[in-house]
Amino acid sequence: MTDMISVRAARARRLLALPRPGWLTVAAIVVLALIVLAGAFAPLLAPFEPTELNSMMRLKPADATHWMGTDSYGRDLFSRVLYGARISMIVGFSTALGSLAIGLPLGLIAGWFPLADGVLMRIMDGLMAIPGILLAIAVVALTKAGLVTVIIAIMLPEIPQVVRLVRARVISVRNEAYVEAARLLGTSSTRIIWRHLLPATFGPMIVQGTYIYAAAILTEAALSFLGVGIGTETPTWGNIMAEGRLYFALTPSLVFWPAVVLSFCILSINILGDALRDSLDPKMKARG
Amino acid sequence: MIHYFVKRLLMAIPVMFFVAVFVFLLLRLTPGDPAIIIAGDQATQAQLETIRENLGLDEPLLGQFVTWMGNLMRGDFGVSLISQKPVLTLIGQRIGPTLSLALAAMSLTLFFALPLGVMAAWRHGKLLDRAVMIFSVLGFSVPVFVTGYVLISVFAVNLQLLPVQGYRPLSEGLVPFLQRIFLPALALASIYIALVSRMTRASMLEILQEDYVRTARAKGLNESVVLFRHALRNAAIPILTIVGTGFAMLISGVVVTESVFNIPGLGRLVVDAVLARDYPLIQAIILLTAGIYVLINLLIDLSYALTDPRVRYQ
């Protein structure tokens, strides 16, 4: 029993023993942490209500009260960008978690049971053939565009990627000597999946999760920008930009600020994802 | 060889079939009455009846599906609920700008991404390599619509080198066409260039370790011949694969780019269709793009078999 515990502890240490992160990774973590905190504490941090109208203060440049200026309704841009962070973080996190939770069991099944593999993978191929935004647009068209619908719409096209990843990992581990040995000892399928295959998928899944997190935030912003995402009354980065584009020539800051925050956010997540991938799979480091 | 072609072709059929089943069920299985979903809560009874009749919603599900698939097979993709015109006619009117944009972006991608990826692998770990990698992460991270606005404000508004927005078909002259397609194509290509240059670099790094590359260098071949003739050819399969699977991403980008640059293509059509809940039109555009995606990937697969005998026998 104690042996088991020490083996587990060693494994946990090995997983946690990330190499010293480079300055770029540290910077990415700091930026991302700031955005997460900004989103979480938006109600406390925002100097104004994000939906507070002020017809006297329309399209004003940045000053001491309105740090990023105001939009065409006189709403405080800084407060709106803070609240936008909140939506983006919720969308990114739920989509990543949801698509991993659905993709993981499907991938395990496809990788372990050859009978299910053919059918399941053709279905996944079909889902992958539909461009993500179009799929999301179709789902939004059929439902009332709320937060949950948008998350589901963005999640659907991400699932096949997870299934393929998990399946590939399972197939490569399935033929390893230790799995073969477990099978010869009469270990049941469920136990092999649970004890050997599942842990082998964790590393790639964490990495994939960060990429999905980034992709989901991008897709949500694109949907809002096109006017088919979360309703325009909600301040999301995409909605702010969609409104701001009408005044782009006059007040580019309405597009500029959400764009900068959004780009830095995605950049940080991607850098973090690359760093995680390098530390979880040193072989990838050389290949990039 | 023929055996491989047939096998690959047969595999594409269930994929397309599933796409069809999926778009079919999406409307029917969404909670609520499909006719009300499309027409909205304030629709009159007569409007609902028209929609039900148009989509055959009164029949049982299986019957609907058989009729619908039969129509698809005969090239009948249905009628737009808004304009009452066949959806294929509407798509035909808008597909030109979209195809031009996609092809221009694809050309820019191959023009920039392949040399960048090859050079990065060649100068592995050096400044150039790091620059390409940083550019590639940036390309992934900056959304297409942001890139679009940056390009507009720099090249069209500040430098006034190119028109801000709009589209002119090629039939109205090459110069106006290129002037208007260049910025949107570049915005759209940025993420694709990031993807393809990254994959080119990774695939080249692997190939450059091979013995035959050392042999080619040892016998005194020009380095560019080694890189582009010997190495790049052998590194081609993963690169082509990512070009093919990246096509779905390209189409997603097209939808956004057309909106930023005011290009009257399929992307704008689909956004207008959503706002009007014109489901037959959305459905047809999805089927069409998925079909093109499957076709491109099929052609890429077949091209491996033509160029690389190892693939045929797997």
pLDDT digits (tens, 9 = 90+) for A129-139: 888 888 888 88
C-alpha distance from B274 to closest chain A C-alpha (Å): 5
**ipTM score assigned to the predicted complex:** 0.83
Angle between helices A77-112 and A23-40 (to 10 degrees): 110
Specify the pLDDT at position A267.
92
Region B98-126: what's the mean pLDDT?
91
How many angstroms separate the CA atoms of A69 and A138, rounded? Answer: 35
How many angstroms separate the CA atoms of A134 and A130, rounded? Answer: 7
Residues B54-92 have pLDDT tens digits of 777 777 888 888 888 888 888 888 888 888 889 999 999
Partner-chain contact A131 B249, CB within 8 Å:
yes
Partner-chain contact B252 A131, CB within 8 Å:
yes
Copy the structure tokens of residue A213: 């997190």
Partner-chain contact B274 A263, CB within 8 Å:
no
| Spatial CA neighbour of B122 closest among B262, B232, B40, B33 | B232
Domain spanning B95-307: CATH superfamily: MetI-like (1.10.3720.10)
C-alpha distance from A90 to closest chain B C-alpha (Å): 19
Specify the pLDDT at position A9.
64
How many angstroms separate the CA atoms of B180 and B205, rounded? Answer: 37
What is the domain partition of chain B in residue ranges?
21-87, 95-307
Specify the pLDDT at position A71.
78
Containing A153, the helix (H) or strand (E) segment is helix A147-174
Q: Chains A and B: how many Cβ contacts under 8 Å?
A: 148
Specify the pLDDT at position A281.
67
DSSP letter string, B1-22: -HHHHHHHHHHHHHHHHHHHHH
Q: Which residues, at least 6 apart from B206, have a Cβ–Cβ distance to it below 8 Å?
A: A287, B235
C-alpha distance from A271 to closest chain B C-alpha (Å): 7
How many angstroms separate the CA atoms of B226 and B232, rounded? Answer: 8
Copy the structure tokens of residue A106: 């499907």
Q: Looking at the partner chain, which of A122, A266, A286 has a beta carbon nearest the beta carbon of B18?
A: A122
CATH topology of domain A77-281: MetI-like fold (1.10.3720)
User: Which residues of chain B neighbour A263 with C-beta distances below 8 Å?
Assistant: 141-143, 146
Chain B interface mutation, best of A130, A159, A271, highest count of B Cβ atoms under 10 Å? A130
What is the domain partition of chain A in residue ranges?
77-281
B245-279 burial, b if ≥16 CB within 10 A, otherwise e?
bbbbbbbbbbbbbbbbbebebbbbbbbebbebbbb
User: Which residues of chain A neighbour B23 with C-beta distances below 8 Å?
Assistant: 138
Chain B interface mutation, best of A31, A124, A125, highest count of B Cβ atoms under 10 Å? A125
Predicted structure pTM score: 0.85
Region B126-135: what's the mean pLDDT?
88
How many angstroms separate the CA atoms of B84 and B69, rounded? Answer: 20
Residues of chain A with pLDDT under 70: 1-21, 281-288
Specify the pLDDT at position B75.
85
- Greater pLDDT, B256 or A74: B256
Q: Which residues, at least 6 apart from B11, have a Cβ–Cβ distance to it below 8 Å?
A: A122
Specify the pLDDT at position A4.
59
C-alpha distance from A7 to closest chain B C-alpha (Å): 35
Specify the pLDDT at position A31.
94
Q: Looking at the partner chain, which of A125, A228, A249 has a beta carbon nearest the beta carbon of B271?
A: A228
Confidence band for B116, pLDDT divided at 50, 70 and 90: very high
User: Tell me, what amino acid is at B131?
Assistant: A
**What residue of B is the nearest CA neighbor of A222?**
B256
Specify the pLDDT at position A61.
78
